[in-house]
């Protein structure tokens, strides 16, 4: 990626994680990155931390970039379209991490065909992310290599040809950390209820989750087999599993994932509708002569 110039449109937590990954792995130098955002304090922080150029003007950031990264909230995407439409180099590639926004709606909104859609997740901030991505046909092989290299700096990456899988990835790996954090929170609270200090409970729970994840990653066993390794007949774990099953743990989790998927699809449909609406020209009503 050396020599590529990269513009970040929006520099929230994920935007910062991507900048950090690029610089830590020496994929590009700080002089090759420019960040645009409307929040002066955020820009000041990014400039001080990473020594990159900053601006509040999206067009200034994007006009000379080889890669334009869209890392804004879905609610402001239509404004970004208005800002950048016609102001991106024809040879540039757009990389979007905007939840729900399809590559088709982005291509239409910006009138630019080379679009990569990525679903990252928050562990990317510590280099342990899971990014699922797809690309339009206009994205070159070289540009695809750039994307793979960039996302590998954030953790693991998975390319899929079917963009429909991105909404499903949003529900599983994109939102997944929130489910895990909620599990961690619940286990800590339960441990405190049993008499552990909060700091001790936190250490036990986080290491248990971390160790279990590493064990699952390295093992060829099915998750059910790994669970059975911990579960003795009529034992404490068996009782705990019984209570979880009685409370419909799997069903609730499945409903949560399906709900997140449907919400992602709905966000994409809304974005597409906004693009279509912006293309419609207002119809002027003909004046009719009034009878005297």
Summarised one tens digit per residue, pLDDT across range 212-255 is: 999 999 999 999 999 999 999 999 999 999 999 999 999 999 99
Q: Which residues pair with 115 in a beta bridge?
A: 94
Q: Is the predicted pLDDT of residue 289 greater than 60, yes or no?
A: no
Q: Which class for 103: exposed (0-12), middle (13-18), buried (19 or more C-beta within 10 A)?
A: buried
Report residue 2's pLDDT band, with 50, 70 and 90 as the boundaries: confident
Give the model confidence (pLDDT) of 56-110 as tens digits.
999 999 999 999 999 999 889 999 999 999 999 999 999 999 988 999 999 999 9
The confidence score (pLDDT) of residue 284 equals 54
Measured in degrees and rounded to the nearest 5, phi and psi for residue 9 equal -100, 95
136 Cα distance to chain centroid: 18
Report residue 292's pLDDT band, with 50, 70 and 90 as the boundaries: very low
Name the token pair of 69. Answer: 């990264």
Q: Does domain 176-247 have CATH number 1.10.1030.10?
A: no
The secondary structure of 97-127 as a DSSP string is --TT--HHHHHHHHT---EEEEE--GGGGGT
The confidence score (pLDDT) of residue 275 equals 63
The confidence score (pLDDT) of residue 274 equals 61
Give the model confidence (pLDDT) of 138-197 as tens digits.
999 999 999 999 999 999 999 999 999 999 999 999 999 999 999 999 999 999 999 999
Alpha carbon distance 225, 210 (integer Å): 18
Segment 122-135 shows an average pLDDT of 96
Around Cβ 131, how many Cβ atoms within 10 Å? 26
Q: Where are the domains of the chain?
A: 6-164, 176-247
Enter the pTM of the model: 0.87
Q: Does domain 6-164 have CATH number 2.170.150.20?
A: no
Report residue 291's pLDDT band, with 50, 70 and 90 as the boundaries: very low
């Amino acid at each position: 990626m050396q020599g590529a110039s990269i513009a970040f449109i929006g520099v929230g937590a994920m935007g910062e994680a991507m900048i950090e990954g690029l610089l830590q792995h020496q994929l590009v130098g700080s002089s090759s990155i420019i960040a645009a955002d409307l929040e002066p304090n955020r820009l000041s922080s990014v400039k001080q931390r990473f020594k990159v150029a900053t601006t509040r003007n999206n067009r200034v950031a994007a006009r000379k970039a080889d890669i334009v990264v869209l890392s804004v909230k879905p609610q402001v995407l239509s404004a970004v379209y208005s800002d950048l439409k016609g102001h991106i180099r024809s040879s540039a590639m757009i990389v979007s991490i905007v939840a729900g926004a399809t590559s088709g709606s982005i291509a239409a909104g910006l009138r630019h065909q080379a679009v990569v859609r990525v679903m990252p997740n928050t562990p990317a901030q510590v280099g342990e992310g899971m990014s699922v991505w797809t690309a339009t046909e206009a994205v070159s092989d070289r540009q695809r290599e750039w994307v793979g290299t960039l996302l590998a700096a954030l953790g693991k990456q998975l390319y899929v040809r079917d963009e429909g899988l991105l909404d499903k990835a949003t529900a599983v790996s994109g939102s997944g950390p929130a489910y895990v954090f909620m599990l961690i929170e619940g286990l800590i609270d339960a441990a405190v209820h049993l008499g552990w200090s909060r700091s001790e409970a936190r250490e036990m729970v986080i290491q248990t989750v971390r160790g279990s994840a590493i064990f699952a990653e390295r093992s060829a066993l099915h998750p059910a087999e790994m669970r059975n390794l911990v579960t003795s007949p009529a034992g404490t774990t068996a009782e705990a599993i019984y209570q979880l099953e009685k409370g419909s743990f799997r069903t609730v989790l499945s409903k949560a994932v399906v709900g997140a998927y449907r919400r992602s699809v709905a966000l994409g449909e809304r974005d597409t509708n906004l693009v279509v609406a912006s293309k419609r020209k207002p119809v002027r009503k003909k004046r009719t002569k009034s009878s005297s």
